[in-house]
Structure 1
Amino acid sequence: MAVLSIEQHPSLPPVGDALAGALGTVFANICVYPLDVVKTRTQVAKDSEDDTAATSKPKAKSTVAAVLDLIKSPSEAYAGLFGSLIGNASTSMVFFYFHTLFKTHAAKRFSTDGKLSIPADLAVGALAGAIAQIFTIPVNVATTLQQTLPPSRRQDLMATCRTIVQSDGVIGLWKGLGASLVLCVNPAITYGFFEKVRESLYGNTGGKLTPGQAFVVGAISKAIATIVTYPYIMAKVRLQAGAEAANPLVDGTLQEKENAITVLQKVLKRDGLKGWYRGLDAQIYKAVLTQAILFYAKEHFTRYTILMWAMARNMRAKVAAR
């Protein structure tokens, strides 16, 4: 069977693009998930021994220690996987749906040639990312808790969500939303550095890079963007894991309201500046690998989605013709 070319069927509706993006995200997430667990557990670890939540939080102090913990307990490598797959797939679907929808409408309304400027394209991406976070962050909050709690206190996804609501109210499912919205600027930073890194490494290529060059430039750009925004990434994870207070899944009490700024202040006072960047190496490995796998997988899943869409359209046409 001949390979279907995207150019032969260039347009997918928003829901089709969302499906292809979600499938690629699920595939990438499964590939790097143990590293995601390592990253999360390292981010919520504390240097202080007088931690009131110490009995419920992982004791890993570094990425290496967290990796060794997973080697000793391989079953923990996929703790919270089901919730993570649902959260990442739904986030990706919402993002790609609204990104395609907004981009199509914006190109028709504000562009004469059907193409958006770079700032407009980044704005569309940030808006789609913000909407995706608002809709899907409850699953991510529950998954973060599943990744960081010991097996004896871990619950399934729905039970974790119910316990969060009982402890903190419905608003507890949206912990870290402010930090997540701020982090929507990450793609803009990545793209900005992409152009500068490309010029520095390969000069004026006329916008054309080989796949290998694109991967190198993309990896470096993503790493720089991750370093710039990492304190907020860490603060978001700590908020979602309840790392700055006694764990609500343990004592069932409401805690003092926190935000990203207060979390950063506490971490700086307790652990110093290095506390802001604990787990950075795992975050960079995870972000770069996920991005690379996602781009590769989405390209293939897009082709299959186009094929399925064309087959479904032909079947509807045959039924209508009868």
Structure 2
Amino acid sequence: MGFDLESVSEATSGAIGALVSTTILYPLDTCKTKYQAEVRAQHQQKYRNISDVLWEAISTRQVLSLYQGLGTKNLQSFISQFIYFYGYSFFKRLYLKKSGSKNIGTKANLIVAAAAGACTVIITQPLDTASSKMQTSEFGKSKGLWKSLSETTWTEAFDSLGISLLLTANPSIQYTAFDQLKQRLLNRRLKRESAKESAPEALSAFSAFLLGAVSKCIATSLTYPAIRCKVMIQAADEDEDGIEQAPLKNEKTVLGAIYAIWKREGPLGFYKGLQAQILKTVLSSALLLMIKEKITKTTWVLMIALRKFLFITRTRLKNA
């Protein structure tokens, strides 16, 4: 029961952190996604850089449209992070209990993180697809969540499932790097004698922010070509000018996305928007992990209080 309680605490803290970081950085995320989704030869590109997307929103008086799809993105982020952190914490504690080890090794950490990521992707893929479509729609013409889902077949909703499963390597690399760096940092501190249900040791806000930024930067750089392909596959088939952005209308596949990028943008096209991706994801991840670390102890205390309350209530009901 002990590791279950801490798993719920970790999941709740991670989900709240994701909700806050997603909301704060959403305009940047929208600009980044629209920029990534455009696949054209250089002389035909509407967006030369990510700032062009922001300027379009300002010049057309559609600044609020930078938040189109925020509700869907927040729902997807909250659910996915809760599932991910719960699965990651649960399987990690289960591994430590079965193996009798005090710390989890890098290989085992990668496997645990990948398994948690795969479960998360399968459950939240339709929301992820809907969110991407809403973000890449023309400013002011984004459809709501339910309309987007109703107009999308199950096959289309899971179009990028394969590449999303491949991208589970991203959080696997990120959280493995974060956990290993965190363990080394905490091991340097003096060990305090803990009670049976003492809260887990937490990093300072600055340390969590720094380690989160470093770990996410590593993961993003290694997996960016797959991220770019995923955005293309999920984006609308045609842009607002009626021009197909990629030969994906009848064949939304990884090979189709790779072919489109290679033909229209060349090898460097696989890294188009990398700086914006790193800026957004590093800030988002760092904020998420910083918030999670700071509220984990509070969440832990609330979980213990809730469990004691439920125990007392059951006891009184039995004795009544």
- Distance in structure 1 (CA, Å) of the matches to 2:175 and 2:122: 23
Query: For residues 1-322 of structure 1, what are the structure 2 equivalents within 5 Å?
Result: 12-48=5-41, 59-72=46-59, 73-109=62-98, 111-151=99-139, 153-165=141-153, 170-190=154-174, 208=188, 212=206, 215-216=209-210, 218-242=212-236, 245-246=237-238, 255-322=249-316
CA shift at 1:164, angstroms? 1.2
- Distance in structure 1 (CA, Å) of the matches to 2:279 and 2:162: 25
Residues 130, 157 of structure 2: 8 Å contact kept? yes
CA shift at 1:41, angstroms? 0.6
- Give the AA of the match of 1:241: A
- Give the AA of the match of 2:308: N
- Give the AA of the match of 2:39: K
Q: Describe the superposition over 1:6-54 as per-residue Cα deviations: whole angstroms up to 9, x where unpaired.
A: xxx9973433332221111101111111111011011012334999xx9
CA shift at 1:114, angstroms? 4.4
Residues 46, 61 of structure 1: 8 Å contact kept? no
- Distance in structure 2 (CA, Å) of the matches to 1:71 and 1:228: 33
Q: Give the number of equivalent residue pairs.
A: 291
Q: Describe the superposition over 1:297-316 as per-residue Cα deviations: whole angstroms up to 9, x where unpaired.
A: 11233223222212212322
SS at structure 1 position matched to 2:21 = helix
TM-score, normalising length: structure 2: 0.80
Q: CA RMSD in A?
A: 3.1
- Give the AA of the match of 2:219: A
- Distance in structure 1 (CA, Å) of the matches to 2:234 and 2:283: 23
- Distance in structure 1 (CA, Å) of the matches to 2:217 and 2:7: 29
- Distance in structure 2 (CA, Å) of the matches to 1:305 and 1:106: 23
Residues 57, 139 of structure 2: 8 Å contact kept? no
SS at structure 2 position matched to 1:164 = coil
Which is further off, 155-164 or 94-103? 94-103
SS at structure 1 position matched to 2:151 = helix
Q: Which runs of 4+ in 1 moved over 6 A?
A: 191-196, 204-207
- Distance in structure 2 (CA, Å) of the matches to 1:29 and 1:83: 11
Equivalent in the alignment of 2:193 = none
- Distance in structure 2 (CA, Å) of the matches to 1:94 and 1:279: 29
- Give the AA of the match of 1:282: A
SS at structure 1 position matched to 2:152 = helix
Structure 1 unaligned blocks of 5 or more:
1-8, 199-203
SS at structure 1 position matched to 2:5 = coil
- Distance in structure 2 (CA, Å) of the matches to 1:205 and 1:89: 28
- Give the AA of the match of 1:158: W
- Distance in structure 2 (CA, Å) of the matches to 1:16 and 1:231: 34
Residues 145, 241 of structure 1: 8 Å contact kept? yes
- Distance in structure 2 (CA, Å) of the matches to 1:221 and 1:104: 22
Structure-2 change in CA distance of 1:68 and 1:153 (3 Å) = closer
Equivalent in the alignment of 1:3 = none
Structure-2 change in CA distance of 1:316 and 1:195 (3 Å) = closer
TM-score, normalising length: structure 1: 0.79
Q: How many percent of aligned residue pairs carry the same amino acid?
A: 30
- Distance in structure 2 (CA, Å) of the matches to 1:37 and 1:29: 11
